[in-house]
Amino acid sequence: MRKTWLFAIVLAAGCSDAAKDIEKFADRACECKDKGCGEKVILDFAQFARDNANATGDQERANKAAKRMTECVLKSGVDPHFVMDKLQHLGE
């Protein structure tokens, strides 16, 4: 299930410029020390992905950044269900 929504993230924001932005979200996520910070990153990322829904490009780079972002927010205490809820419809 995790791969399904992660794939949706990459499809929603997969161009080379967007990949650079996703890397910034990953950097923010990895700086988070608490759940609130991680949730804010996910909410901001979801809005970014909606705003850039037609982006295309370097999906491998975007995928790596999205995976790192997800791992970091989970380490900060964000519930996986919260992440899935906020990101699951991005690729539709």
Give the pLDDT confidence of 10-47 residue by residue, as tens digits: 555 444 467 888 999 999 999 999 999 999 999 999 99
**Are 11 and 53 in contact, with CB atoms under 8 Å apart?**
no
Q: What DSSP string describes the chain? A: -HHHHHHHHHHHT-SHHHHHHHHHHHHHHHH--SHHHHHHHHHHHHHHHHHTTT--S-HHHHHHHHHHHHHHHHHTT--HHHHHHHHTTTT-
What pLDDT, on a 0 to 100 scale, did the predictor assign at position 7? 47
Alpha-carbon distance of 27 to 35, in angstroms, equals 15
pTM assigned to the model: 0.81
Give the pLDDT confidence of 35-87 residue by residue, as tens digits: 999 999 999 999 988 888 777 668 888 889 999 999 999 999 999 999 999 98
Q: Where are the domains of the chain?
A: 2-87
